[in-house]
Amino acid sequence: MSAPKKLFIKTYGCQMNVYDSERMAEALGGEGYIETKSADDADMILLNTCHIREKAAEKVYSELGRFKGLKAEKPDLKIGVAGCVAQAEGEEIMRRQPLVDLVVGPQSYHRLPEMEAKARAGEKVLDTDFPEEDKFEKLKNRPKAKRGPTAFLTVQEGCDKFCAFCVVPYTRGAEVSRPADRILREAQDLVERGVREITLLGQNVNAYHGAGPNGDLTLAQLIWELDKIDGLERIRFTTSHPNDMQDDLIEAHGTCAKLMPYLHLPVQAGSDKILKRMNRSHTAESYIRLIERIRAARPDILISGDFIVGFPEETEEDFQATMDLVEEVKYGTAYSFKYSTRPGTPAAERAQVDSAAADDRLQRLQALLTRQQREVQDSMVGREVGVLFEKAGRLPGQMVGKSDYLHAVHVADCSRGIGELARVRIVSSGANSLAGELIS
C-alpha cells in the first residue's frame, strides 16, 4: 500500500469555513489523504479563504507567494484555493499566480476528489459554479471517526439580504436551506461519534426554511426535531438577522431546554439613517424591541452582536446613536469592525469616512463593548451554570469547558471527563475565562 498523502488546510474566516475545511478533509480522506499541521510536508495545500473584511485577496496572494520555494523543491505539490476569495476571483487567481493548480468555490467541494485527480494529471482546474446538487449529501462523513464533544452543522447557506457593505450574497450566492431529514441524519451521526453540542450554521441561519415531510420547517421547528435526539445535550445557532427572528424561535428560547441561552444578533449600527443606507431594513428601535421580546422569553440570555463603524456618511452623531444602542442593549460579547470597502458592493461607490475618525470611533466602541463584556462575565460569579467539558486544562487535574452562555470555564481537581456535562458554581472571573467548582 502506498503511503498516505498529506493535506495541509489553512482556514480563514468564519465557522462556516471551519466546517467546510472539515468536509474538504473528509472528501480528500477518501482519496488517501491525511491531514498535516505543517505546509512543509504536505502533498496538497488548500487555502480556505474568507472575503468578508480585510484585504482578503491580497493576503491570499502573499500567502501563496510563500509557497514558491516549497513548490520548487517538490514539483508534485498541489496548491489549491477554496472559499469565498476563490468564488469571487477564481479566474484572476489562476491568471495571476501560476503556482495554483486548483480553485474551488464553496459550492463545489464535493467535486474535490475529481479535481484532485485532474490536478495530479497536470491540469489546472477551476470550479466555482453554483450547482443544483446537494454538496453536503455527496460529502457524507465517510469513516465513523470519533469526534470531540462540539460540532458545527451547516443548515443554510447564502443570503438574500444584500446589506450594502457585504460580499456574502455575491460569494455564497442566494439563500438555500438544506432539507431537514439530511440535517437530522447528520446530527444523529455526529452524536453517535461523541458530539454533545451542535451549532447550526448559516450566513442567515434564522431564515432557515428547509423541506420537511409536511412542508418547510422553520429554524425553531428544526431545533425541536433536533431536541428529540438522545445524547444531544446542547443546540446553538449562528448567525441571525433581526428581521428573520420569528415568534416560534423566540418562544423556543424560553421552552427548549437544549437550546442554549446565547444569541448572536448583529445590528451593525444604531443610527436609522445609517441602517437605511446599509439596507438593513430594520431600525434601532425595532431591534431594541426585539431584544426585549427575546429577554422576556429567556431573561438570562446572553446577547452578542456585530458592529461596523465608519460606514460611508456616518457622522459623529450617527456613531453616538450606536453607542446609545449598545448602552441600552448591554452585550455579553460583540465583534466590531472598521468599515472596509468590498469592490462590487453598493457602499463601495460612496464617499468614505475619514480613516482616522473611524479608528477613533472603533476604539471608543470597543472600550464600551469590552466593559460590558467584563460586567456580564463578572455577573456570573456565584451562579450555577452547565459546563460541557472540552479538554484538559494546563494544570494537572484541571478541565476546561464552555458554559451555557459560551464563557470558557476552568474547573480544578475535576472528576469529569471530556464530553461530560456538569453543573458548576462559578467562583471567580478572570481575564478571558471563569473559574468554577463542580456541584455534587
Alpha carbons 440 and 438: distance in angstroms, whole number: 6
Answer with the entry of ligand SF4, ligand 5AD, none that 100 interacts with (C-beta below 5 to 8 A by kind): none
Give the CA count within 13 Å in the CB-facing half-sphere of 312: 17
Q: Name the residue nearer to ligand 5AD (CB basis): 23 or 342.
A: 342
Cβ at position 175, least distance to ligand SF4 in Å: 8
Residues 6+ apart with CB under 8 A from 193: 141, 144, 145, 146, 147
Q: Name the residue nearer to ligand 5AD (CB basis): 246 or 340.
A: 340
Q: Name the residue nearer to ligand SF4 (CB basis): 163 or 232.
A: 163
- Kindly state whether residue 166 participates in binding ligand SF4, applying the rule CB under 6 A: yes
Alpha carbons 303 and 84: distance in angstroms, whole number: 28
Alpha carbons 302 and 282: distance in angstroms, whole number: 21
User: Phi-psi region for residue 290, left (φ > 0), alpha (ψ -120 to 50) or beta?
Assistant: alpha
Cell 452578542 belongs to residue: 304
- Kindly state whether residue 159 participates in binding ligand SF4, applying the rule CB under 6 A: yes
- Kindly state whether residue 161 participates in binding ligand SF4, applying the rule CB under 6 A: yes
Length of the chain: 440
- Kindly state whether residue 163 participates in binding ligand SF4, applying the rule CB under 6 A: yes
Answer with the entry of ligand SF4, ligand 5AD, none that 204 interacts with (C-beta below 5 to 8 A by kind): ligand SF4
Q: Cell triple for residue 84?
A: 469565498
Answer with the entry of ligand SF4, ligand 5AD, none that 109 interacts with (C-beta below 5 to 8 A by kind): none
Q: Name the residue nearer to ligand SF4 (CB basis): 111 or 172.
A: 172
Cβ at position 260, least distance to ligand SF4 in Å: 21
How far is the CA of 107 from the CAs of 29, 162, 184, in angstroms? 19, 19, 21
Binding residues vs ligand 5AD (CB under 6 A): 52-53, 165-166, 266, 268, 306, 308, 337, 339-340, 342
Cβ at position 334, least distance to ligand SF4 in Å: 15
Q: Name the residue nearer to ligand SF4 (CB basis): 165 or 319.
A: 165
Q: Name the residue nearer to ligand SF4 (CB basis): 241 or 410.
A: 241
Cβ at position 74, least distance to ligand 5AD in Å: 36
- Kindly state whether residue 241 participates in binding ligand SF4, applying the rule CB under 6 A: yes
Answer with the entry of ligand 5AD, ligand SF4, none that 159 interacts with (C-beta below 5 to 8 A by kind): ligand SF4
Task: Sheet with 333-338: list strands edge to edge.
Answer: 262-264, 302-309, 333-338
Q: Name the residue nearer to ligand 5AD (CB basis): 224 or 339.
A: 339
Rg over alpha carbons for the chain, rounded to the nearest Å, is 23
Alpha carbons 302 and 205: distance in angstroms, whole number: 18
Q: Name the residue nearer to ligand 5AD (CB basis): 19 or 224.
A: 19
Burial of 28-45, coded b for 16+ CB within 10 Å and e otherwise, reads bbebebebbeebeebbbb
Window 179 to 238, contacts with ligand SF4 (CB under 6 A): 203-204
Window 168 to 187, contacts with ligand SF4 (CB under 6 A): 168-169
Alpha carbons 291 and 242: distance in angstroms, whole number: 9
Of 403, 8, 6, 407, the C-alpha closest to 234 is 403
Q: Among 34, 41, 123, 162, which residue sits at the site for ligand SF4 (rule: CB under 6 A)?
A: 162
Closest residue to ligand 5AD, based on beta-carbon distance:
306
Residues at the site binding ligand SF4, with contacts judged by CB under 6 A: 159, 161-163, 166, 168-169, 203-204, 241
